[in-house]
Amino acid sequence: MEIIIVRDADEVGRVAALKIASVVQRDPEAVLGLATGSSPTGIYASLAARVAAGELDFGRASGFALDEYVGIPLEHPESYASVIERDVVVPLGMDASKVRVPDGRASDIEAAVVDYERAIADAGGIDIQILGIGANGHIGFNEPTSSFASRTRIKTLAPQTRADNARFFDDPSQVPTHCLTQGLGTILDAHEVVLVAQGSAKASAVAGMVEGPLSAMCPGSALQLPRRATIVVDEAAAADLQLADYYRYTYANKPVWQRFE
Protein backbone atom coordinates (compact mmCIF):
# COMPACT_ATOMS: atom_id res chain seq x y z
CA MET A 1 0.00 0.00 0.00
CA GLU A 2 1.10 3.51 -0.70
CA ILE A 3 -0.33 5.94 1.86
CA ILE A 4 -0.44 9.58 0.78
CA ILE A 5 -1.45 12.08 3.45
CA VAL A 6 -2.43 15.49 2.13
CA ARG A 7 -3.67 18.75 3.62
CA ASP A 8 -7.39 18.68 2.94
CA ALA A 9 -10.25 17.20 0.94
CA ASP A 10 -9.54 19.30 -2.17
CA GLU A 11 -5.99 18.03 -2.27
CA VAL A 12 -7.23 14.43 -1.88
CA GLY A 13 -9.33 14.84 -5.03
CA ARG A 14 -6.54 16.54 -6.95
CA VAL A 15 -3.84 13.96 -6.13
CA ALA A 16 -6.07 10.92 -6.67
CA ALA A 17 -7.24 12.40 -9.99
CA LEU A 18 -3.62 12.64 -11.11
CA LYS A 19 -3.23 8.93 -10.47
CA ILE A 20 -6.29 8.12 -12.59
CA ALA A 21 -5.25 10.59 -15.30
CA SER A 22 -1.87 8.86 -15.56
CA VAL A 23 -3.64 5.55 -16.28
CA VAL A 24 -5.92 7.05 -18.96
CA GLN A 25 -3.06 8.95 -20.59
CA ARG A 26 -1.12 5.70 -20.84
CA ASP A 27 -4.16 3.78 -22.13
CA PRO A 28 -7.05 5.84 -23.54
CA GLU A 29 -9.17 2.65 -23.58
CA ALA A 30 -8.64 2.04 -19.87
CA VAL A 31 -11.39 0.32 -17.89
CA LEU A 32 -12.31 2.32 -14.80
CA GLY A 33 -14.04 1.03 -11.66
CA LEU A 34 -16.35 3.84 -10.56
CA ALA A 35 -17.32 4.51 -6.96
CA THR A 36 -20.16 6.79 -5.90
CA GLY A 37 -20.76 8.51 -2.54
CA SER A 38 -19.19 11.77 -1.35
CA SER A 39 -15.59 10.56 -1.26
CA PRO A 40 -14.76 10.50 -4.99
CA THR A 41 -16.65 13.68 -6.01
CA GLY A 42 -13.43 15.74 -5.79
CA ILE A 43 -11.70 13.23 -8.11
CA TYR A 44 -14.43 13.51 -10.72
CA ALA A 45 -14.53 17.32 -10.46
CA SER A 46 -10.76 17.51 -10.88
CA LEU A 47 -10.81 15.15 -13.87
CA ALA A 48 -13.75 17.03 -15.41
CA ALA A 49 -11.81 20.30 -15.19
CA ARG A 50 -8.94 18.73 -17.09
CA VAL A 51 -11.32 17.31 -19.70
CA ALA A 52 -12.86 20.79 -20.14
CA ALA A 53 -9.35 22.20 -20.56
CA GLY A 54 -8.68 19.68 -23.32
CA GLU A 55 -5.93 17.92 -21.34
CA LEU A 56 -7.68 14.57 -20.95
CA ASP A 57 -10.07 12.49 -23.03
CA PHE A 58 -12.27 9.74 -21.60
CA GLY A 59 -14.16 9.19 -24.87
CA ARG A 60 -12.64 5.74 -25.42
CA ALA A 61 -12.49 4.66 -21.78
CA SER A 62 -15.09 2.36 -20.28
CA GLY A 63 -16.41 1.99 -16.76
CA PHE A 64 -18.04 -0.34 -14.29
CA ALA A 65 -19.86 1.04 -11.26
CA LEU A 66 -18.89 -0.47 -7.96
CA ASP A 67 -22.40 -0.91 -6.64
CA GLU A 68 -26.09 -0.05 -6.92
CA TYR A 69 -29.13 0.01 -4.69
CA VAL A 70 -31.82 -2.63 -5.05
CA GLY A 71 -35.40 -1.45 -5.04
CA ILE A 72 -35.29 2.12 -6.27
CA PRO A 73 -36.21 3.11 -9.82
CA LEU A 74 -33.46 3.72 -12.37
CA GLU A 75 -34.55 7.36 -12.75
CA HIS A 76 -34.42 8.05 -8.99
CA PRO A 77 -31.82 10.81 -8.56
CA GLU A 78 -29.97 8.73 -5.95
CA SER A 79 -29.86 5.48 -7.90
CA TYR A 80 -26.18 4.95 -8.57
CA ALA A 81 -27.03 4.71 -12.28
CA SER A 82 -28.27 8.33 -12.03
CA VAL A 83 -25.30 9.43 -9.93
CA ILE A 84 -22.78 7.86 -12.32
CA GLU A 85 -24.51 9.50 -15.29
CA ARG A 86 -24.62 12.91 -13.58
CA ASP A 87 -21.24 12.96 -11.78
CA VAL A 88 -19.08 10.89 -14.09
CA VAL A 89 -20.35 10.11 -17.59
CA VAL A 90 -21.47 13.62 -18.54
CA PRO A 91 -18.69 15.71 -16.93
CA LEU A 92 -15.94 13.35 -18.10
CA GLY A 93 -17.40 12.98 -21.59
CA MET A 94 -17.51 9.20 -21.35
CA ASP A 95 -19.44 7.12 -23.87
CA ALA A 96 -22.58 6.09 -21.93
CA SER A 97 -22.75 2.83 -23.86
CA LYS A 98 -19.38 1.87 -22.38
CA VAL A 99 -20.40 2.45 -18.75
CA ARG A 100 -22.28 -0.21 -16.85
CA VAL A 101 -23.96 -0.25 -13.45
CA PRO A 102 -25.16 -3.44 -11.73
CA ASP A 103 -28.87 -3.90 -12.47
CA GLY A 104 -30.58 -3.48 -9.11
CA ARG A 105 -33.98 -3.73 -10.76
CA ALA A 106 -33.41 -7.09 -12.46
CA SER A 107 -36.14 -9.65 -11.89
CA ASP A 108 -33.42 -12.30 -11.79
CA ILE A 109 -30.73 -10.86 -9.51
CA GLU A 110 -28.64 -14.05 -9.59
CA ALA A 111 -28.40 -13.87 -13.38
CA ALA A 112 -27.73 -10.11 -13.30
CA VAL A 113 -24.70 -10.41 -11.02
CA VAL A 114 -23.23 -13.28 -13.02
CA ASP A 115 -23.73 -11.20 -16.16
CA TYR A 116 -21.98 -8.23 -14.51
CA GLU A 117 -18.94 -10.30 -13.58
CA ARG A 118 -18.82 -11.68 -17.13
CA ALA A 119 -18.99 -8.17 -18.60
CA ILE A 120 -16.00 -7.08 -16.47
CA ALA A 121 -14.04 -10.14 -17.58
CA ASP A 122 -15.00 -9.56 -21.24
CA ALA A 123 -13.68 -5.99 -20.96
CA GLY A 124 -10.33 -7.44 -19.89
CA GLY A 125 -10.77 -6.59 -16.21
CA ILE A 126 -10.67 -3.26 -14.40
CA ASP A 127 -7.48 -1.25 -14.86
CA ILE A 128 -8.01 1.12 -11.96
CA GLN A 129 -10.71 0.85 -9.32
CA ILE A 130 -11.73 4.05 -7.54
CA LEU A 131 -12.92 3.51 -3.97
CA GLY A 132 -14.15 5.30 -0.88
CA ILE A 133 -14.52 3.67 2.53
CA GLY A 134 -17.50 3.57 4.87
CA ALA A 135 -17.21 4.57 8.53
CA ASN A 136 -17.55 0.87 9.40
CA GLY A 137 -14.73 -0.09 7.02
CA HIS A 138 -16.88 -1.21 4.10
CA ILE A 139 -15.65 -0.80 0.54
CA GLY A 140 -18.23 -0.86 -2.22
CA PHE A 141 -21.12 -2.15 -0.14
CA ASN A 142 -19.09 -5.04 1.24
CA GLU A 143 -20.15 -4.75 4.83
CA PRO A 144 -18.15 -6.21 7.75
CA THR A 145 -17.78 -10.02 7.56
CA SER A 146 -17.91 -9.98 3.74
CA SER A 147 -15.79 -12.75 2.29
CA PHE A 148 -12.46 -11.70 0.78
CA ALA A 149 -13.31 -14.06 -2.09
CA SER A 150 -16.76 -12.56 -2.74
CA ARG A 151 -17.91 -11.61 -6.23
CA THR A 152 -20.67 -9.23 -7.34
CA ARG A 153 -23.78 -10.15 -5.35
CA ILE A 154 -26.71 -8.86 -3.33
CA LYS A 155 -25.98 -7.56 0.18
CA THR A 156 -28.04 -6.23 3.06
CA LEU A 157 -26.92 -2.75 4.07
CA ALA A 158 -25.69 -2.39 7.65
CA PRO A 159 -27.86 -0.09 9.78
CA GLN A 160 -24.91 2.32 10.09
CA THR A 161 -24.55 2.49 6.31
CA ARG A 162 -28.26 3.18 5.89
CA ALA A 163 -28.01 5.94 8.50
CA ASP A 164 -24.88 7.39 6.84
CA ASN A 165 -26.57 7.46 3.42
CA ALA A 166 -29.87 8.89 4.72
CA ARG A 167 -28.49 12.36 3.91
CA PHE A 168 -29.03 11.63 0.22
CA PHE A 169 -32.74 10.87 0.67
CA ASP A 170 -35.76 12.95 1.76
CA ASP A 171 -36.50 10.52 4.56
CA PRO A 172 -34.27 7.85 6.22
CA SER A 173 -36.94 5.22 5.59
CA GLN A 174 -36.39 5.69 1.85
CA VAL A 175 -32.82 4.33 2.02
CA PRO A 176 -32.95 0.87 0.43
CA THR A 177 -32.17 -2.12 2.62
CA HIS A 178 -30.37 -4.03 -0.15
CA CYS A 179 -27.79 -3.39 -2.81
CA LEU A 180 -25.68 -5.11 -5.43
CA THR A 181 -21.95 -4.67 -5.02
CA GLN A 182 -18.78 -5.86 -6.64
CA GLY A 183 -17.30 -8.35 -4.19
CA LEU A 184 -14.01 -7.99 -2.39
CA GLY A 185 -12.66 -10.66 -4.75
CA THR A 186 -13.84 -8.58 -7.72
CA ILE A 187 -12.14 -5.48 -6.31
CA LEU A 188 -8.93 -7.38 -5.61
CA ASP A 189 -8.82 -8.50 -9.25
CA ALA A 190 -8.45 -4.88 -10.43
CA HIS A 191 -5.01 -4.11 -11.82
CA GLU A 192 -4.73 -1.33 -9.26
CA VAL A 193 -6.93 0.50 -6.79
CA VAL A 194 -7.01 4.05 -5.50
CA LEU A 195 -9.00 4.72 -2.34
CA VAL A 196 -9.77 8.17 -0.98
CA ALA A 197 -11.02 9.21 2.46
CA GLN A 198 -11.64 12.59 3.98
CA GLY A 199 -12.68 13.76 7.43
CA SER A 200 -12.45 12.52 11.01
CA ALA A 201 -15.46 10.20 10.65
CA LYS A 202 -13.26 7.96 8.48
CA ALA A 203 -10.16 7.99 10.74
CA SER A 204 -10.92 4.74 12.53
CA ALA A 205 -11.84 2.89 9.31
CA VAL A 206 -8.67 4.15 7.61
CA ALA A 207 -6.51 2.96 10.50
CA GLY A 208 -8.21 -0.45 10.44
CA MET A 209 -7.73 -0.71 6.68
CA VAL A 210 -4.06 0.27 6.65
CA GLU A 211 -2.69 -0.89 9.99
CA GLY A 212 -5.27 -3.24 11.44
CA PRO A 213 -5.17 -7.00 11.05
CA LEU A 214 -6.35 -8.46 7.78
CA SER A 215 -9.92 -9.09 8.85
CA ALA A 216 -13.38 -9.47 7.37
CA MET A 217 -14.52 -7.21 10.22
CA CYS A 218 -12.82 -4.38 8.34
CA PRO A 219 -13.43 -5.14 4.65
CA GLY A 220 -11.08 -2.31 3.64
CA SER A 221 -8.19 -4.29 5.14
CA ALA A 222 -8.46 -6.52 2.04
CA LEU A 223 -6.54 -3.73 0.30
CA GLN A 224 -3.43 -4.94 2.11
CA LEU A 225 -3.45 -7.82 -0.37
CA PRO A 226 -3.19 -6.36 -3.90
CA ARG A 227 0.14 -5.39 -5.41
CA ARG A 228 -0.93 -1.86 -6.25
CA ALA A 229 -3.13 0.07 -3.81
CA THR A 230 -2.85 3.82 -3.37
CA ILE A 231 -4.60 5.36 -0.39
CA VAL A 232 -5.02 9.15 -0.44
CA VAL A 233 -6.33 10.70 2.79
CA ASP A 234 -6.52 14.13 4.33
CA GLU A 235 -5.04 14.96 7.74
CA ALA A 236 -8.36 14.37 9.54
CA ALA A 237 -8.83 10.89 8.05
CA ALA A 238 -5.17 10.09 8.82
CA ALA A 239 -5.49 11.04 12.50
CA ASP A 240 -5.49 7.46 13.86
CA LEU A 241 -2.58 6.16 11.76
CA GLN A 242 0.30 5.12 14.00
CA LEU A 243 2.88 5.33 11.23
CA ALA A 244 1.69 8.62 9.73
CA ASP A 245 5.15 10.19 9.98
CA TYR A 246 6.65 7.24 8.15
CA TYR A 247 4.11 7.58 5.30
CA ARG A 248 4.86 11.31 5.03
CA TYR A 249 8.60 10.62 4.98
CA THR A 250 8.19 7.89 2.37
CA TYR A 251 6.10 10.10 0.11
CA ALA A 252 8.45 13.06 0.47
CA ASN A 253 11.35 10.84 -0.56
CA LYS A 254 9.58 9.00 -3.36
CA PRO A 255 11.89 8.60 -6.35
CA VAL A 256 11.06 11.04 -9.14
CA TRP A 257 10.60 8.23 -11.66
CA GLN A 258 7.88 6.67 -9.46
CA ARG A 259 5.84 9.85 -9.08
CA PHE A 260 2.58 10.37 -10.88
CA GLU A 261 2.07 13.99 -9.83
- List active site positions: 67, 136, 138, 143
C-alpha triplet 108, 130, 104: angle, nearest 5°: 15
Residues 163-182 that bind ligand GLP (CB under 6 A): 165
Residue 37 touches ligand GLP, criterion: CB under 6 A: yes
The sign of the dihedral angle between the CA atoms of 203, 247, 125, 221 is negative
Shortest spacing between CB 195 and ligand GLP, in angstroms = 8
Looking at the Cβ atoms of 62 and 142, the one nearer to ligand GLP is: 142
Tell me how long the chain is. Answer: 261
Q: Quick one: which of 42, 102, 132, 208 contacts ligand GLP (CB under 6 A)?
A: 132
Q: Which residues of 102-114 are buried (b: 16+ CB within 10 A; e: fewer)?
A: bbbbeeebeebbe
- In order of 43, 92, 192, 203, the CA distances from 48 in angstroms are 8, 5, 21, 28
Residue 35 touches ligand GLP, criterion: CB under 6 A: yes
Q: Quick one: which of 9, 19, 30, 39 contacts ligand GLP (CB under 6 A)?
A: 39
Separation of alpha carbons 174 and 5, rounded Å: 36
Adjacent-strand bridge partners of 179: 69, 155
Looking at the Cβ atoms of 137 and 212, the one nearer to ligand GLP is: 137
In the chain, the amino acid numbered 2 is E
Cβ neighbour number for residue 28 with a 10 Å cutoff: 12
Residue 102 touches ligand GLP, criterion: CB under 6 A: no
Residue 82 touches ligand GLP, criterion: CB under 6 A: no
Shortest spacing between CB 118 and ligand GLP, in angstroms = 22
Separation of alpha carbons 68 and 71, rounded Å: 10
| 108-116, 126-134, 170-178, 225-233 -> range binding ligand GLP (CB under 6 A) | 126-134
Shortest spacing between CB 189 and ligand GLP, in angstroms = 17
Please provide residue 12's backbone torsions phi and psi, each rounded to the nearest 5 degrees.
-60, -50
Residue 190 touches ligand GLP, criterion: CB under 6 A: no
Residue 183 touches ligand GLP, criterion: CB under 6 A: no
Residue 204 touches ligand GLP, criterion: CB under 6 A: no
Q: Quick one: which of 58, 64, 141, 247 contacts ligand GLP (CB under 6 A)?
A: 141
**Interface residues toward ligand GLP, by CB under 6 A:** 35-39, 66-67, 132-134, 140-141, 161, 165
